[in-house]
Structure formats: structure tokens, C-alpha cells
């Protein structure tokens, strides 16, 4: 027996191809099943995009934390959305903030932050952070746990 609340999900449980671009990717959401404030974390240690100047691949470890309000993101749709950046040309700053802003637009969370820990380009690692403000009081917000880049040191 299926739960009628989830019939709106078109990607979960189906063979869904990777979207051609982040703009084409559909983020699906479901009702927040909890009535207490809590934090959800997604880690994407193998995120990839394309440098818009050279066309070379860029790699990052993304950590997305959010405190939901009415909605939570369906994880397969998030995976497909993040995967759609593989052929997307944008600077680190644009990719990181675009992901955060899109999640805010779709979910309207009480709070969201994303840390983009980018591997070196031209010998310099670039870390990009986006947040919507202060997290709600009383919610445990752990550190993101991604060590600064140390190379071989």
C-alpha cells in the first residue's frame, strides 16, 4: 500500500536520467514529517562542475545543512540536481550559492547553510559559504567537519 502523500514524487522509484542543466533539474519535496525543530545534513564529497573559462572539471566537497519548516527535499531529486552540474560551466562561488538559493526557493527552510570546499584550481583551494542567517535557537548545529585543504602537508 502506498502513502498518498508521496504520489506527487515523479523521480523516486523510477528510472530518471540526469538533467542536462541545473535549471532543468526538478527538486521534489515532501511534507516535513516532524513537528520539532531539527537539522538535516547532506554531504556530497564528489561534487563536480566545469570551469567556465577553461572547460576543465572542478571538484568540491559540499555540505548542506538546513532546518526545515514545512518541506524537506526528496534526496534522489537532490542527487540529480547536484549531478546536473557535471556539465555546467560556472565559477565556484556561483555553483555554491546557486545550490543554496535554489533550495531556499523550493523549501523555504527556517535556516540553511552550504559549505563548498573546493579542491585547488591554479594551486589555490577556494571555500565558499552561503547561509540564510542565524539558526533557530535550541537546534544542535554541528561543525561541517571538512578539514581545510593541506595538500601533502
Per-residue model confidence as pLDDT tens digits over 7-66: 466 666 567 888 899 999 999 999 999 999 999 999 999 999 999 999 999 999 999 999
Q: What is the pLDDT of residue 151?
A: 72
Q: What is the pLDDT of residue 10?
A: 67
Average of per-residue pLDDT values in the chain: 91
Task: Give a yes or no: residue 93 inside a domain.
Answer: yes
- Find the domain containing 96 and state its range: 27-131
**CATH number, domain containing residue 64:** 3.30.1130.10
- What are the backbone angles phi and psi of residue 109, rounded to the nearest 5°? -75, 165
Share of the chain above pLDDT 70, in %: 90
- Active-site residues: which are they? 51, 58
Q: What is the pLDDT of residue 6?
A: 46
Task: Give a yes or no: residue 152 inside a domain.
Answer: no
List C-alpha distances in Å: 16 to 9, 49, 75, 84, 107: 12, 20, 13, 12, 22
Task: Give a yes or no: residue 9 inside a domain.
Answer: no
Q: What is the pLDDT of residue 1?
A: 37
Global pTM value:
0.90
Task: Give a yes or no: residue 78 inside a domain.
Answer: yes
Return all residues near 138 (Cβ < 8 A) that are at least 6 apart.
Answer: 37
Q: What is the pLDDT of residue 2?
A: 45
Is residue 37 within 8 A of residue 141, CB to CB? The reply is: no
Cβ atoms within 10 Å of 129's Cβ, excluding its own: 14
Task: Give a yes or no: residue 2 inside a domain.
Answer: no
Task: Give a yes or no: residue 4 inside a domain.
Answer: no
Q: How many domains does the chain have?
A: 1
Task: Give a yes or no: residue 18 inside a domain.
Answer: no
Bridge partners, 72 (sequence order): 30
Task: Give a yes or no: residue 138 inside a domain.
Answer: no
Bridge partners, 111 (sequence order): 67
What one-character DSSP code corresponds to residue 122?
T
Which residue, chain included where needed, has cell 583551494? 125
List C-alpha distances in Å: 107 to 4, 14, 133: 20, 23, 16
Which residue, chain included where needed, has cell 557535471? 86
pLDDT bucket at 79, cuts 50 / 70 / 90 = very high
Amino acid at each position: 500500500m502506498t502513502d498518498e502523500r508521496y504520489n506527487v514524487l515523479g523521480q523516486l522509484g523510477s528510472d530518471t536520467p540526469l538533467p542536462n542543466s541545473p535549471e532543468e533539474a526538478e527538486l521534489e519535496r515532501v511534507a516535513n514529517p516532524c513537528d520539532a525543530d531539527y537539522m538535516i545534513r547532506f554531504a556530497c564529497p564528489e561534487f563536480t562542475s566545469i570551469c567556465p573559462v577553461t572547460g576543465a572539471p572542478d571538484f568540491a566537497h559540499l555540505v548542506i545543512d538546513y532546518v526545515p519548516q514545512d518541506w524537506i527535499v526528496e534526496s534522489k531529486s537532490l542527487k540529480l540536481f547536484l549531478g546536473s552540474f557535471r556539465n555546467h560551466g560556472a565559477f565556484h562561488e556561483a555553483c555554491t550559492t546557486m545550490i543554496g538559493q535554489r533550495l531556499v526557493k523550493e523549501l523555504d527552510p527556517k535556516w540553511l547553510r552550504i559549505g563548498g570546499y573546493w579542491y585547488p584550481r591554479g594551486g589555490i583551494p577556494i571555500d565558499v559559504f552561503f547561509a540564510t542567517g542565524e539558526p533557530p535557537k535550541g537546534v544542535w548545529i554541528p561543525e561541517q567537519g571538512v578539514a581545510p585543504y593541506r595538500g601533502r602537508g
